[in-house]
Chains A and B, each alone.
Chain A
Amino acid sequence: MISHRPRGLPGSGLPEYLSSVTSGVPFWARTCGYLVVVVGVLEVLCRLFIGVAPPERYDARYDKISEPGRWVVHSTEGFSRGRTNELGFLDAAVPRPPPADGILVVGDSFTEARHVDQAERFTNRLEKRLARRVYNAGHAGWSPLNAIGFLAAEKATLAPSTVIVQVSGNDLQDIVARKRPHVVEPAPGAFAVELPKRAAEGTAARVKAILFRSALVAAATSSALQLLAGGRDNDATGSCAAPDPRAVRALPWIAGELRRGHDDVHLLYLPMLDYHAGCVDRCAAARDLFARAAAGAGLAFVDATPALCERFRATGQPPNGFANTVPGTGHLNAAGHAVVAGVLADHLVAHRRLAR
């Protein structure tokens, strides 16, 4: 098991050289010294390439959001680096005063899109194409209920002329999940949003905050927890189980709430496509429900499904998946974002022409 090269000869190999220069140092001290170097190197690697998740805070109006001004490195699905803005989103700073023709896109991880470079996201592409400021207000795990709270809270800050709320099939499960903002029905037909109860910050949270300043500790803990839970959420972006009846009943009310106080609101539906089965939306039932609710509340409904499938059939390259995950699964890749940006741009241009 031991390398039998002569020891202590500088130049005969790094281990031998290190052994020669540390020959008088006790075993434990040498081991600790090497471990400090190893941990240091890993910490640097984590900060540059592996993962730095920004800490989250809780806002009483719309639940969780990333801390502002934090460095983010994402590498488990696709790869990107960036910094959160003053609102806690991965986006450029909000201009003061905000332009009159701004577009606000509120959504979940598909909108936040940590998986691609910021310039490749559909919000940034849309901004370039329409020459209008497009605010990316996407946060992983958000549903239309977070959007309702956020729109009410930050309308004055951003003053958008157009609002796009991005939804996906899994939202119909999320809006009734008690761990997230969920709809309650105190009386038949009367709905309200209830935020989950968050534990008060105690000593454990403070210790965790200190430890998690290390990107290595944060990434390793996150990985270990996922391992213990038996699943890493790389390629699953939510389930398409049969929609909960309460969610189905609440959808028209949710659409109405999104419309409240805004003239120009659009519902953008991003599908979960099964490319192996010929590009079929696994959540087609949810799409139909969203479309119906949007029509009922006077929201414009934008479905990216046909364009995404058309792109897949034309090129054979699925618009979901990355070089470090399985193609056709998970979030939209750069090509997928380009398709969605095209669909949205065409829709907004046509909509404006129609409105005139």
Chain B
Amino acid sequence: MVEKKDKLIIAGREFTSRLMVGTGKYESFKQMVTAIEKSGAEIVTVAVRRVNISDRSKESLLDHIDLQKYTLLPNTAGCYTADDAIRTCRLAREAGLSDFVKLEVLGDDKTLFPNNEELLKAAQTLVREGFTVLPYTSDDPIVCRKLQDIGCAAVMPLGAPIGSGLGIRNPYNIRIILETVTVPVIVDAGVGTASDAAIAMELGCDGVLMNTAIAGAKDPVAMAEAMNMAVRAGRLAYLAGRIPKKLYATASSPLEGVIE
């Protein structure tokens, strides 16, 4: 089986699953835990936020995530400057004792598109400080190349705006990114349903990261399973090598021996 030996390697760490999932927007911790399990993901993203010191009734997210089983990928969601993102990453490392970070520096709150100038600045500092940086970026091959040159462990171009569910809007850019960089390319954001995830993988991407597509589905647990299958199916189809597209038909049955 070609799939069995096929591992995702990020900064020297080996992962079997190519699907990464978020932990936001679930109805309950129980639903989140089941959905993550069904997704087969080994890397889960989390956000860093202030503890509500006046209301201590809230449980800690980490009480529900088995850290023997999952690698935490803290994000810098909500950061609009390099300084804020760097500060958040330092806090995340202290809280989680791991140096993996999903670096996002946003440009505005309507599109949640990355501010690539600030992103590059933050990436530079964080790589220097020893972080394993996985940046959420525009689907721009030049920015991706710059992120790789800085020393990011992967690049994570968006397929479409965060939470939009529009799918992979520019597969050609993703293909160019795949030819431009040698670090893993993980499509982060935009996936709406299983076929979107499969398309990303069929393009040759190394992984897909999603949150809303699963947590926002009518049945998040079933969608998590669908995404698990889609990512594996897409990867296998990529490795198997698809047939070229042609305008006209080619018969599947022999042309000889047709009755007359």
- A and B: bona fide binding partners: no
Residues on B lying within 8 angstroms of A by beta carbon are none
